[in-house]
Structure 1
Amino acid sequence: MAVLLHRLGRSAYRHRRLVLGIWLVVLAALVTCAGVFGGRLDDRFTVPGTESQRALDTLGRTLPEASGADAQIVFVAPEGHRVTEARYTAAIARAEATAAKAPQVKAVMGPAATGAVSADRSTAIVQVQYSVQRAEVRPSSLDVIEGAAEAAEGNGLRTSVGGSAYGSNGVHIGPSEVIGVAVALLVLVVTFGSLLAAGMSLLPALLGVAVGLAGLLALTPAVSISSTAVTLALMLGLAVGIDYILFILSRHRQQLARGIDPRESIALATGTAGSAVVFAGSTVIIALAALGVIGIPFLTVMGLGAAGAVLVAVLAAITLVPALAGFAGARLTPKPG
């Protein structure tokens, strides 16, 4: 293994433009496939063989309108007023009528029918029942529900919408993820004392995560993949990616400090530290893939998706790091003192 990885590191260093180009082409191809053929994420969780799942299956066969997704519109009257006042009840009734016309809506139940009014009469809830599961709810239908809520706000009511129909159907990278990457970069800069070395640690990890997530999303038309599986793959891929890259990069910089030629140094680092990376990654992949033994579909997909992200992280560590080290050359040598 060490000899094979040594040769791989030396070859990646020598053909660094080709290696980097292959990774970029693969990423572009997967992103294109995900954009053109990728479907929506599916957050329907089933646990075959359990009593609760059999009950849900029976409900879906005998009363499908009660087993679909649901949405709620919450109406709050202005301070000092009640939702039972004539103008507010009229606004709520109009919202009910609008929601009932939304595509895929099976039934709309207002507070008059359900009694969903708070004790102080300041808040009321309208229930919207869909005839389809959340993953099948069309955005246009949700737009109608939101439009009904906004129309009621014109009459002085404060509104908000929610329910299972509004679950996540995509990958959202928000400020928290960006802040996390920025903090990781800061820690790496402080640790290495070099912006170049910190970037060398982070860039292959981010590229590996991008490839892993794009590959996962490209499979959505053929496999039911949940947003939880994507999130887990993102977290594990980034965490182990940085960790594995640090193994090889730290060994490479130590050897550069001893005066070893950059090409031979990265080959040795890939052969020695890279062996540890492959072993560690293999154990993680096996452990995650073992989630399939449980026999719960969504756990199986989560495990295999995360295992795929870890596999890509290992490949990035043993190929991308030597290639990028070739571009950096001797500039990765730590400064004396």
Structure 2
Amino acid sequence: MAKYLYKLGKLAANNSKKIIGGSILILLVIAIIAMNLGSNFSEDMSIPGSESEKALHLIKKEFPSNTSQVQLVFNALENKTLVSEEISNIITDTLKVIKEKDSHIVSVASPLELGNLNKDTNIGYAIVTYNVAADKVSEKSKENIIENIENIRDAGIQTELSGDVSFSEMEIGGITEVIGVVVAFVILAITFISLLAAGLPIITAVIGLAIGIFLIMIGTNYLDITSVSITLAAMLGLAVGIDYALFIMTRFRVQRKEGYSVQESVAIANGTAGSAVVFAGITVIIALLGLSVAKIPFLTMMGLSAALCVLFAIFIAIIVVPAFLGLLGHKVGPDRKNSFISKIIKSDKKQTTPDRWGNFVAKRPWKVAIIGIALLSIIAIPISHMELTLPDNGSKSEETTERRAYDLLTKAYGPGHLSTLIVAAKTSSETTNPQVALSDTIEELSGLSNVKNVSPAIPGPSGELYLISITPETGAADSETKDLVNDIREKAKTLEKSNHIKLMVTGTTAVNIDISQKLSDALPIFALLIIGFSFILLVLVFRSILVPLKAVLGFVLSLGATLGFTVFVIQDGNLIDLFGFPIAYPILSFLPVIVIGILFGLAMDYEVFLVSRMREVYTHTGDARKAVLAGMKDSGGVVTAAGLIMISVFTGFMLAPDPIIKAMGFSLTFGVIFDAFVVRMGIVPAVMIIMGKASWYLPKWLDKLLPNLDIEGESFMKEIERKRN
């Protein structure tokens, strides 16, 4: 592969303008297509085949409906009540205006008409019903409600919005993400001591990311892709795009320093660092595709979307980056440094930093290894009580109207009001007296723990299916609610035998519980597959048994610490004000799987770029200690810069207001901190110093069987050196 990438790099360097122009043209064409088609994201998070999904399908078949609702939640302030004639008239008149201005609204109902006022009559909600599904409600319809409820607010009534229709959309590409990119630019400027060189990785990463994002937007018109997917893809695509360009540019500058021409330096960089980029990128892609192991459609599409952006990051890194270097190589080489940056940073000091750290680790390997392992093990402890859930309005920022509506409804009716369970009761020919059987069933369900109330059964048109609503005492994310769902399902087994009625639990809360359980069950399998895959892959790359084993154990340590710290902050509520989380909340059900997949890929990136240099030196010298020090000196700086860039990009997303984006950014930020700086720059070299030559042991019989991947490009480098001499 290295030889082909070498030739590709030379081709790109010699045809710079054509390739750069072609990539921009491709981007423009895809962008135009995406803009014309628009996007159609699906927020369906379901598991085909689960009990809750089967019940939901059965209910939709019995009670066909293509409507959606918006709840207008009112809170009378300053000792006022919603039953006063003045306030009641304002609400009623406003609802009439809202209905008159929108032909898609089929009905409106005030709190007094619905009879849903709380005990103090100061909180209640109106319902606006549309004749279209929630995702089909137009922005104009939303604006109609937002504009008209100002009349109610002006009267001193707090008015918030909830229901099927979302009014607080997820924002992508805000100021916080820009801050992350700016910080990445500063890190690159310090690394290359050049403003031009610092800008190239960002420009090329944005080109690759833009192509990937526009393709995802096009894909939303044909596939069920959630809005979270594009966030994850943007987060990862931008980070790896910058890092991959950094790796190739760093090697390019090394070759220029050694006296090679621009074109030859580009080709060598593409054949050596480019090989490592391709290998590292493929591991990330495979890990993301591995998300399909859970067999959950929305999670599979998240993995595919992110993998697409990583794929284009690879293409841009090995095709467009060499083209830019071929065009501007004379201006970004080590002999051309920005005078402003050079005055601030001395390049000779920068080069010695990794060597000093390497010597520090080499002199105290046992202490560094023990402290690093102990630190990560302690941080990982909270993972033992991790709870998983899907997000709801209760996890959103207090700045959103949905979160304020959630708080008002919880205050007025209790947390269980927003976690109602729907039980589909289906009779059969063996059910001799359905009404008596249903009455007994409701009585049995009412006697379960954590049940606040059970509604009468609502019959369907067929006369065989009935709907029973159960309101728990606790909220949707509470473990007691999950226990209630399990209790109902256990009770259903006995009731089916005694009353000949089949009960199936569904509703948003039950669906979320099923998804979380499915992901929790898939987590160990996915982790084992990733760990096993990484071990085999690293054996092929490094031709060693202990180096891959050490790398895998290091990944397990950083993963445990990442999830443990995530639980400590987000779920347990420690330091949530420091990191800007609105409330302590269980972990996103799909977050651990995503973290495992992405962190694995990034960990392999750092492992390959750090240890491949060690192997190269060990192969030539046979000195294990010297190999570790050389790897730390030559690759430590670029791994440090790459880690800092990842952190800056992920931190930009962590600062976003949306809780889903924030949680993903938070976990990945600290995942990189733990893996890049504690494991790869601390524990890995320390353990390799301790193991010495044993690190590189590989049975001879296995050595003969394994193919030589040659990601360091030794084969063509020997030919180049021979021709040069």
- Note whether the superposition's TM-score is higher than 0.5: yes
Q: Indicate the residue corresponding to 1:32 in structure 2.
A: 32
Contact 1:71/1:127 (8 A) holds in 2: yes
DSSP-derived class of the 1:259 partner:
coil
The structure that has the greater radius of gyration is: 2
User: Take 2:86 and 2:196, find their aligned partners in 1: how far apart are those partners?
Assistant: 65
Query: Alpha carbon RMSD of aligned pairs, Å?
Result: 2.3
User: Take 1:168 and 1:300, find their aligned partners in 2: how far apart are those partners?
Assistant: 25
Distance 1:300 1:218, change over 3 A: same
Distance 1:240 1:35, change over 3 A: same
User: Take 2:145 and 2:40, find their aligned partners in 1: how far apart are those partners?
Assistant: 21
User: Take 1:197 and 1:166, find their aligned partners in 2: how far apart are those partners?
Assistant: 43
- Compute the displacement of 1:276 (Å): 0.8
Q: Indicate the residue corresponding to 2:300 in structure 1.
A: 300
Contact 1:92/1:152 (8 A) holds in 2: yes
Q: Indicate the residue corresponding to 2:664 in structure 1.
A: none
Residue 273 of structure 1 aligns with an amino acid whose one-letter code is A
Contact 1:75/1:125 (8 A) holds in 2: yes
Contact 1:73/1:126 (8 A) holds in 2: yes
Contact 1:248/1:273 (8 A) holds in 2: yes
1:255 aligns with 2:255: yes
User: How many residue pairs get matched?
Assistant: 336
User: Take 2:116 and 2:187, find their aligned partners in 1: how far apart are those partners?
Assistant: 51
User: Take 1:115 and 1:79, find their aligned partners in 2: how far apart are those partners?
Assistant: 22
Q: Indicate the residue corresponding to 2:94 in structure 1.
A: 95
Q: Indicate the residue corresponding to 2:155 in structure 1.
A: 155
User: Take 1:39 and 1:242, find their aligned partners in 2: how far apart are those partners?
Assistant: 26
Contact 1:149/1:161 (8 A) holds in 2: no
Q: Indicate the residue corresponding to 2:527 in structure 1.
A: none
Q: Deviations over 1:109-138 (max 9, x none)?
A: 432244444554444322334454322222
After TM superposition, the structure 1 = structure 2 runs for residues 241-320 of structure 1, keeping only pairs within 5 Å, are 241-320=241-320
Contact 1:285/1:310 (8 A) holds in 2: yes
User: Take 1:190 and 1:310, find their aligned partners in 2: how far apart are those partners?
Assistant: 25
Q: Indicate the residue corresponding to 1:177 in structure 2.
A: 177
User: Take 1:68 and 1:306, find their aligned partners in 2: how far apart are those partners?
Assistant: 33
Higher deviation after alignment, 185-194 or 110-119: 110-119
- Gapped runs of 5+ residues in structure 2? 338-346, 349-725
Q: Indicate the residue corresponding to 1:199 in structure 2.
A: 199
User: Take 1:228 and 1:68, find their aligned partners in 2: how far apart are those partners?
Assistant: 25
Q: Indicate the residue corresponding to 1:234 in structure 2.
A: 234
- Compute the displacement of 1:180 (Å): 1.4
User: Take 1:175 and 1:165, find their aligned partners in 2: how far apart are those partners?
Assistant: 26
User: Take 1:280 and 1:106, find their aligned partners in 2: how far apart are those partners?
Assistant: 55
Contact 1:40/1:169 (8 A) holds in 2: no
- Compute the displacement of 1:167 (Å): 5.7
Contact 1:98/1:145 (8 A) holds in 2: no
DSSP-derived class of the 1:166 partner:
coil
DSSP-derived class of the 1:255 partner:
helix
Contact 2:43/2:227 (8 A) holds in 1: yes
DSSP-derived class of the 2:225 partner:
coil
Q: Deviations over 1:186-212 (max 9, x none)?
A: 222222222112111211111110111
- Compute the displacement of 1:39 (Å): 3.5
Distance 1:118 1:156, change over 3 A: same
Contact 1:135/1:169 (8 A) holds in 2: no
Q: Indicate the residue corresponding to 2:4 in structure 1.
A: 4
User: Take 1:63 and 1:327, find their aligned partners in 2: how far apart are those partners?
Assistant: 65
Higher deviation after alignment, 155-164 or 305-314: 155-164
Contact 1:252/1:265 (8 A) holds in 2: yes
- Compute the displacement of 1:99 (Å): 4.1
- Compute the displacement of 1:27 (Å): 0.7
User: Take 2:168 and 2:78, find their aligned partners in 1: how far apart are those partners?
Assistant: 33
Residue 179 of structure 2 aligns with an amino acid whose one-letter code is I
User: Take 2:5 and 2:281, find their aligned partners in 1: how far apart are those partners?
Assistant: 14
Q: Indicate the residue corresponding to 1:84 in structure 2.
A: 83
Residue 85 of structure 2 aligns with an amino acid whose one-letter code is A
Distance 1:84 1:68, change over 3 A: same
Q: Indicate the residue corresponding to 2:56 in structure 1.
A: 56
Distance 1:187 1:138, change over 3 A: same
1:214 aligns with 2:219: no
Q: Deviations over 1:16-48 (max 9, x none)?
A: 111111111111111111111234222122210
User: Take 1:309 and 1:173, find their aligned partners in 2: how far apart are those partners?
Assistant: 16
Distance 1:144 1:167, change over 3 A: closer
- Compute the displacement of 1:281 (Å): 1.1
User: Take 2:44 and 2:199, find their aligned partners in 1: how far apart are those partners?
Assistant: 39
Higher deviation after alignment, 154-163 or 308-317: 154-163
Distance 1:107 1:56, change over 3 A: farther
- Compute the displacement of 1:56 (Å): 1.9
Residue 126 of structure 2 aligns with an amino acid whose one-letter code is V
User: Take 2:328 and 2:41, find their aligned partners in 1: how far apart are those partners?
Assistant: 40
- Compute the displacement of 1:274 (Å): 0.5
Distance 1:113 1:326, change over 3 A: same
Higher deviation after alignment, 294-303 or 200-209: 294-303
Residue 251 of structure 2 aligns with an amino acid whose one-letter code is R
User: Take 1:169 and 1:33, find their aligned partners in 2: how far apart are those partners?
Assistant: 23
Identity of aligned residues (%): 38
Q: Indicate the residue corresponding to 1:329 in structure 2.
A: 329
- Compute the displacement of 1:82 (Å): 2.8
Q: Indicate the residue corresponding to 1:140 in structure 2.
A: 140
User: Take 1:262 and 1:138, find their aligned partners in 2: how far apart are those partners?
Assistant: 55
Contact 2:172/2:231 (8 A) holds in 1: no
Higher deviation after alignment, 290-299 or 30-39: 290-299
Residue 139 of structure 2 aligns with an amino acid whose one-letter code is P
Distance 1:134 1:278, change over 3 A: same
Scaled by the length of structure 2, what TM-score is found? 0.44
User: Take 2:79 and 2:193, find their aligned partners in 1: how far apart are those partners?
Assistant: 61
User: Take 1:171 and 1:222, find their aligned partners in 2: how far apart are those partners?
Assistant: 22
User: Take 2:195 and 2:117, find their aligned partners in 1: how far apart are those partners?
Assistant: 59
User: Take 1:154 and 1:35, find their aligned partners in 2: how far apart are those partners?
Assistant: 39
Contact 1:31/1:218 (8 A) holds in 2: no
User: Take 1:18 and 1:262, find their aligned partners in 2: how far apart are those partners?
Assistant: 18
User: Take 2:59 and 2:136, find their aligned partners in 1: how far apart are those partners?
Assistant: 18
- Compute the displacement of 1:155 (Å): 3.3
Residue 187 of structure 2 aligns with an amino acid whose one-letter code is V
- Gapped runs of 5+ residues in structure 1? none
DSSP-derived class of the 1:286 partner:
helix
Q: Indicate the residue corresponding to 1:72 in structure 2.
A: 71
Scaled by the length of structure 1, what TM-score is found? 0.91
Q: Indicate the residue corresponding to 2:433 in structure 1.
A: none
- Compute the displacement of 1:142 (Å): 1.8
Distance 1:168 1:37, change over 3 A: farther
Residue 157 of structure 1 aligns with an amino acid whose one-letter code is I
Higher deviation after alignment, 208-217 or 187-196: 187-196
